[in-house]
Amino acid sequence: MDRRKGSGSRDANGGGLAEATASRLRFEDADEVAEEVGMEVEVEDCPAAAAAEEVIGNDKTSADYYFDSYSHFGIHEEMLKDVVRTRSYQNVITQNNFLFKDKIVLDVGAGTGILSLFCAKAGAKHVYAIECSQMADMAKEIVKTNGFSEVITVIKGKVEEIELPVPKVDVIISEWMGYFLLFENMLDTVLFARDKWLADDGVVLPDKASLHLTAIEDAEYKEDKIEFWNNVYGFDMSCIKKQAMMEPLVDTVDANQIVTNCQLLKTMDISKMSSGDASFTVPFKLVAERNDFIHALVAYFNVSFTKCHKLMGFSTGPRSKSTHWKQTVLYLEDVVTICEGETLSGTMTVANNKKNPRDIDITLKYSINGQRSKVSRTQHYKMR
């Protein structure tokens, strides 16, 4: 699964591979926010482009898209139509010309080239748009059609393998966020580009990303997605239930389901952090705001652009307008009966999977010593 492909969604949008099946983001969850034709480069192991490399234009088959979902326009359509996402970037760029005027910009993972086009319109001196999927060919055409060939150079290739015609850039812009913020691990690519090409006084956009946690009541959906396996047409398929429990569900959560406060787990400063900072263990304390049952914890992220004239950004939280990233639901083994004011506390460990660094392993330790529930448990999840 890549970040934009759903692993089962309340919308039941199924999931043809060629379809943008992403089941994948304002500051309404503000309580916690306070806080040319360039060179052709051989594409080898772009997250997924190897197999698609031999296939040109309309000759693609589903197998090619399986290996290179970003080559299909569907995923880009979905991202572009995510107005919270795309408008946020557009507003950041157009309302903060001073960040771009006469600057050299690097667009990491340019896709259709949309961010590069915004930057060119905002007066950038030159934009280097790097894209490893077949969409790079479209980006070249789009740049030309819109009359920006002099300003934007699309480079087809992996950021980690291409050569830039300039030694340093003033701005790095990227939309790298995956489900649960870190899934797909494109952050490493942005950090690589930053360390290699960003000038000392350069800026990374966005420069802050934070992960947040809350707890929800979700009896009905847990029954449908998890307990379902107990009795399938009279057969016990509960062995699958264990797997289903381990896979975080990317889906939209209704704000009414929220039982506790929302807690900030981790803030990352993209301009300073190292790759290792994306693996961490952090404590949490969720305090119930009403008497209810807790079936799952829900993670989401916020992104901010602190270098703007005014702080800008967006949230993918359940109280904000929904985005294609939705939220990430982690079902609990236990149904926790929690009383208003009681605390569900624990730690969350997030790490890249050792075998496949694009996958994420999450370990949740939680406990409550309440009036109606006394539980202490460790659960492991894998996003893949």
Footprint on this chain of ligand SAH (rule: CB under 6 A): 46-47, 70, 76, 79-80, 109-112, 114-115, 130-133, 135, 158-160, 175, 186, 189
Q: Are 329 and 361 within 8 A, CB to CB?
A: no
Minimum distance from residue 110 beta carbon to ligand SAH (Å): 5
Q: Which is nearer to ligand SAH, 92 or 350 (CB)?
A: 92
Nearest to 73 by CA among 159, 158, 139: 139
Residue among 131, 175, 217, 247 flagged as catalytic: 175
Q: Which is nearer to ligand SAH, 72 or 222 (CB)?
A: 72
Minimum distance from residue 220 beta carbon to ligand SAH (Å): 33
Q: Which is nearer to ligand SAH, 186 or 203 (CB)?
A: 186
3-state secondary structure of 156: strand
Q: Which is nearer to ligand SAH, 32 or 64 (CB)?
A: 64
Q: Which long-range contacts (CB under 8 A, 24 or more apart) does 361-365 make?
A: 362/180, 362/248, 362/330, 364/297, 364/330, 364/332
Residue among 184, 217, 247, 342 flagged as catalytic: 184
Distance CA 68, CA 179 (A): 18
Query: What token pair was written down for 276?
Result: 């290792």
Identity of residue 118: F
Q: Which is nearer to ligand SAH, 38 or 111 (CB)?
A: 111
Please state the three-class secondary structure of 17-67 as a single string: CCCCCCCCCCCCCHHHHCCCCCCECCCCCCCCCCHHHHCCHHHCCHHHHHH
Minimum distance from residue 186 beta carbon to ligand SAH (Å): 5
Distance CA 244, CA 78 (A): 26
Minimum distance from residue 109 beta carbon to ligand SAH (Å): 2
Residue 175 bears catalytic tag = yes
Closest residue to ligand SAH, judged by C-beta, is: 109
Residue 217 bears catalytic tag = no
Minimum distance from residue 276 beta carbon to ligand SAH (Å): 19
Query: What token pair was written down for 299?
Result: 């993670």
Give the count of beta carbons closer than 10 Å to the beta carbon of residue 133: 27
Give the catalytic positions in this structure: 175, 184
